[in-house]
Amino acid sequence: MMEDDLDNMAARLKEEWGVKEWRPTTLAKEHKPIADKLLGKDESQRLQNWRANSRPFKPKKPIVVAEYYEVPSRETSYGFYGGGWRIDIRVNGIIHKSVDGLDRVTCTRLIAGCQRRGVQIKPIITEWMKQQPPKPENRRKAILEDLGGFSL
């Protein structure tokens, strides 16, 4: 019953004011920061550039991609930069978050968590990673490889 009352009231107001169809207008300067927070910068920019003869505004779902790769440790003029694994989160092609200096186990755990949330995962193979010898899957294999041909 409540929805019927609202529909009737909206129809009556449209008739009184002569409004055929409601369409959003471009954003005022004071409303832009609020729209940035609520919709995101990309969507608020689309809403800002909306024209009266264009299609109705429908927000798009952002494309989120998590990229991960290994970074070598190196000495720079600013000091020592410890390497490790790095995860970059891209939203619509723009890097929003980066996590540096992770070990392999922590990186795989974070990537698995992102994958459970429906984030697209993209491993990146760098030139430095191609030059490195392959790493064993688990600790036991690593110990056996270190021992080489040792037998009892």
Q: In the 8-state DSSP scheme, what is residue 10?
A: H
pTM of the model: 0.53
85-129, pLDDT tens digit by residue? 999 999 888 888 888 889 889 999 999 999 999 999 999 988 888
**pLDDT exceeds cutoff 80 at 78:** no
12-42, pLDDT tens digit by residue? 877 777 766 655 566 778 888 888 888 888 7
Element (H, E) at 86: strand 84-91
83 by DSSP, 3-state: which? coil
Residue 127 is predicted with a pLDDT of 86
Residue 110 is predicted with a pLDDT of 94
128-138, pLDDT tens digit by residue? 888 877 766 77
